[in-house]
Structure 1
């Protein structure tokens, strides 16, 4: 029993990474289902060949998953119909299989193994029904404001508020969207023009066809700003992974960056890599397939359950609504998984910024939850500029710098300190 089903899982993984399977959610889903169908078919065939208890019922899940997988693989557009059909059909199939196994299989160990699989399938069916019904009543809350700008074949959402210069660009961390700047953006926009945007595949932005490493993210942001007629030079503020992206931007477009704020930024690493976007490669294709596989947590309701469990982040209500919505989107899960898998390359690309001259550089560090090595890396970042400040916010966590109002106010103040230094052509000082 276990060997047959394990073979099905292995077949599913092999199909997912097969070069003839397109890197799309429907094709990858179809490949997984076809692989699992092989496992059920093996169970059927081996029970006939080597036992006196043929498990004829195994033909049903083999056909169910095989036909469903081929439909998705070959005709991806049918997913809108199938998503309403497969949860109740799978649940009914599980109940029927459980009854047949109780009748046809004498082995207690075999029944236990299969019942464990049936429980997983039943949970997937229930989660899939929840996801389908809930998603039917949702609309994208990111699209109620801002503008969509076409960049390299996909649309990115940009929202700018406030007046005066220099313009501040806020860059969130790994998995972040513009919603994560819910406290920061309005506070900074009260003093100068401030822009937030959603990276490809999340928030209000469409997925990109190109690999989204740090260099490509910086290039896309540059194109976005110019196409939207957002004038520079810019003050770039990056939190966590966003700190890597703003350093890559500054390395690639030094004349367009007037100041930097690194907000508990991820450290760069050696050796430094080129900030020129690399062409798609076999490794990029593998990462894309793995990230798409991770996004299968959405159709079965796991991502929605995760969003419900993590609860309120502490951001304003509208931004909280945006975060909740974004957590349940397959494009978001794929984008976030892809981003983490490319994080090592981004940290090396960020190391290409070796000298920021005497431009204002503010390094802000969370005082809670960071070890001494993290703080040492933060301190070392100040050596990029002769006009730099390092400050630790005691009591603030990594996410708290953005999401807890009292600490977000100090983060906003740090960004505005850079703005004032740039605007008045004076040395950077840290206000309290």
Structure 2
């Protein structure tokens, strides 16, 4: 939808609503105004942070469709499709915050025609358990490890993440180079987004910008459904694995009055920073997409994921 200057209250309301949803969906990785998830899961004494994730079980039946699995004492909702092939890469799709694996169903179906593809709801998302307390990149990574143990076993993995899912994937890969053999980041939350927001929207800002700034800072401090505290950090190398970074082409962040252009510049700079993940990385632009690239231009996302998966497969076979 194209934004035009407000000429009456209804248009002004419409513009503000769009700013709050589309801009915040990228920056906060969740829509502003969304209810913070309650702690309705198991009691705290059922949560064992030292418990092993899951055991790699080669004889376990491959998951087909959607299934609940137990990871570190928690129930995690997982979906897998496509034929499993020993030694071939398994694609793991990772949703943005405020979303769930259902949002990825269409692209998963397309990719599964030629690949083994899985997705999962992180704690606090979709049909998975709620977190009992604050999460970190380390703790959410432990859940990812448990899921991969179950769905991929010893097979190589390609992580394809959108928004917050991309940020988590990029933070996870450097510490798991024995398993993660490819990355696709679809408009991933930049590695220094917290600092970027504070610089792009000064504390002196008023109106919608001030509200957006305050709510973003709160989200990054853990006031989000996943209770994930998102800290800035340097981009660490994940080796020489194939990495494709895709950024949005439609500059919808510019919709924020006065500070929008700064946000667009910071976001674009953040996408370039992710190129340091690998010596074999490249950046492209989905020209007709806003934040949800895999929805706006699914063909762009699918081709990128398939390219990285094919390259990961060749490397796994020593070609």
> For structure 2, which runs of at least 5 residues remain unmatched after alignment?
1-37, 42-63, 195-221, 254-263
The 2-side partners of 1:362 and 1:185 are apart by: 18
Superposed, which structure 2 residues align to 1:235-384 within 5 Å? 235-269=158-192, 337-339=224-226, 342-345=228-231, 347-348=232-233, 351=234, 353-368=235-250, 369-370=252-253, 371-384=264-277
Which one of the candidate residues 396, 406, 413 is aligned to 2:303? 413
1:382·1:389 contact (CA, 8 Å) conserved in 2? yes
Question: Which protein shows a greater Rg?
Answer: 1
Task: Identify if the C-alpha distance between structure 1 residues 168 and 153 changes in structure 2 by more than 3 Å, giving closer, same or farther.
Answer: same
The 2-side partners of 1:232 and 1:336 are apart by: 35
Superposed, which structure 2 residues align to 1:72-151 within 5 Å? 145-151=65-71
Task: Identify if the C-alpha distance between structure 1 residues 192 and 228 changes in structure 2 by more than 3 Å, giving closer, same or farther.
Answer: closer
Which one of the candidate residues 291, 300, 304 is aligned to 1:398? 291
Equivalent position of 1:181 in the other structure: 104
Residues 134-170 of structure 1: CA distance to partner in whole angstroms, max 9, x if unpaired?
xxxxxxxxxx941111112221011111124210101
The 1-side partners of 2:39 and 2:281 are apart by: 45
Residues 367-386 of structure 1: CA distance to partner in whole angstroms, max 9, x if unpaired?
01251321122122213211
| 2:278 is the alignment partner of 1:385 | yes
Residue 69 of structure 2 aligns to a residue in which SS?
strand
Deviation, structure 1 residue 261: 0.5
1:225·1:231 contact (CA, 8 Å) conserved in 2? no
TM (norm. structure 2) is 0.61
Greater relative contact order (CA < 8 Å, ≥ 6 in sequence): 2
Residues 349-396 of structure 1: CA distance to partner in whole angstroms, max 9, x if unpaired?
xx3x51122110000111012513211221222132111121001020
Equivalent position of 2:7 in the other structure: none
Equivalent position of 2:120 in the other structure: 197
The 2-side partners of 1:261 and 1:169 are apart by: 10
1:174·1:336 contact (CA, 8 Å) conserved in 2? no
Task: Identify if the C-alpha distance between structure 1 residues 178 and 231 changes in structure 2 by more than 3 Å, giving closer, same or farther.
Answer: farther
> For structure 1, which runs of at least 5 residues remain unmatched after alignment?
1-22, 27-143, 272-334, 427-432
Deviation, structure 1 residue 229: 5.6
Alignment: residue pair count: 217
TM (norm. structure 1) is 0.46
Which one of the candidate residues 80, 102, 107 is aligned to 1:160? 80
2:163·2:189 contact (CA, 8 Å) conserved in 1? yes
The 2-side partners of 1:257 and 1:162 are apart by: 19
2:192·2:270 contact (CA, 8 Å) conserved in 1? no
2:39·2:130 contact (CA, 8 Å) conserved in 1? no
Alpha-carbon RMSD across the aligned residues, in angstroms, is 2.8
